[in-house]
Amino acid sequence: MFGRREGPLMRNSAQSLRKSRVITAIVIGVFIGCVFAFLFPNGFFFVAPHTATADRHISLSGSNTQEGSVECEYSDRANMLKSEFVAVSEKNAELKKQVRELTERLRLAEQGKDQAQKQFLVLGKQEKAGPFGTVKGLRTSPTVVPDESVNPRLARILEKVAVKKELIVALANSNVKEMLEVWFTTIKRVGVTNYLVVALDEEIAKYCESNQVPFYKRDPDEGIDAIGRSGGNHVVSGLKFRILREFLQLGYSVLLSDVDIVYLQNPFDHLYRDSDVESMSDGHDNKTAYGYNNVFDEPAMGWARFAHTMRIWVFNSGFFYIRPTIPSIELLDRVATRLSKEKAWDQAVFNEELFYPSHPGYDGLHAARRAMDFYLFMNSKVLFKTVRNDASLSKLKPVIIHVNYHPDKLPRMKAIVEYYVNGNQEALKSFPEGSEW
């Protein structure tokens, strides 16, 4: 017996019926949900307001406690981070110092290398030599990178005082107070504003302040201060090589000046600035100031009795312009080191380090140097021995006159002011050519 077999029509009817039931159930469910949402907006499990508030207080109280704990933890962490930052900063400063020291040692270690190769490394590419008569060697060394960490207080002062990164600097203690007054009065009169007195004692610092003279009082250093307070002219002069180093490291060119100098023109208008050191000469004519061939005669040598020598009178260590270059700083270091170990005159040591060539057992200084015009940057020997007795030369107006050859400095300085500034033609006549010891 065969079962009843459903036809296609009956199957379609059954499927349609099931779909209708599902749709109907969904519609009913949505409708019931809307009704309950309207009747019970706070839901089935409604909590009384006071209960919720209490629970919220408990929750907030716990939260505050937890928040306070977190804040305390953050504060401790911040303090710890600050301490770590300070420690890292100190370590960083120490590392920078070590880098500077190692860089300086490296520079010193490289001094023995070929000079031409060093110039190539510092100044640029190698070049071919030009046509005959056109070739000129390198003269001007590059300046150092300024390092304000050397002396931040001095750096701030120099930033205010210097003009075009250069200034006149003089060292003074109370022993030279009267000469210092003539010195800064003549500087002011010619319109120079970029000058600075390194005050070696408190009296000079107060004196400069009362006379509107820019000054710099160094930080206490008993080794230097003891000399600065009581030292004479030559002893104080030896200090300048140590003190000047900081000026150069800060990137400033310095026209170093003793105080026994009268200014008649602005010296910055008469500088070449093409050398490491540009100095006035102790020479009194073209030969002595700029160099000459001096023949040494030794009759015992017969045919070879005459030996030719090159001579030049020394640069004056009381008035020179020095640029912030590596050779300049090396010169200061060499002179200061020798003066700390030897009982020697600073001017003699200054010239030996500038002029002695390299030879077995000694490396000479590779520094460019220039002698100033001895009629413009005049020493007192030239003035009292030659110029005042020559009608044509006496009409010249020097830039400065350095009373370096005579011990009666103050009266001669005042007489120079009388002669060149006030026009008193008799002011220089009473003084002898030489000294009157």
Inform me whether the pLDDT recorded for 244 exceeds 80. yes
Provide the pLDDT for residue 94.
83
How far is Cα 324 from Cα 326, in angstroms, rounded to an integer? 7
Reported as a single tens digit per residue, the pLDDT across 15-40 is 555 666 767 777 677 667 665 565 66
More confident residue, 426 or 17: 426
pLDDT band at 5 (very low <50, low <70, confident <90, very high): very low
**Closest alpha carbon to 383 in 284, 264, 313:** 284
Reported as a single tens digit per residue, the pLDDT across 354-406 is 999 999 999 999 999 999 999 999 999 999 999 999 999 999 999 999 999 99
Provide the pLDDT for residue 4.
44
Question: ∠315-318-320 over CA atoms, to 5°?
Answer: 60
6: helix, strand or coil:
coil
Inform me whether the pLDDT recorded for 217 exceeds 50. yes
Which of 59-63, 77-81, 179-183 is the most confident on average? Answer: 179-183
Flag the least confident range among 113-122, 407-416, 428-437.
113-122
How far is Cα 264 from Cα 417, in angstroms, rounded to an integer? 8
pLDDT band at 46 (very low <50, low <70, confident <90, very high): very low
Query: pTM of the entire structure?
Result: 0.71
Provide the pLDDT for residue 1.
42
Inform me whether the pLDDT recorded for 142 exceeds 80. yes
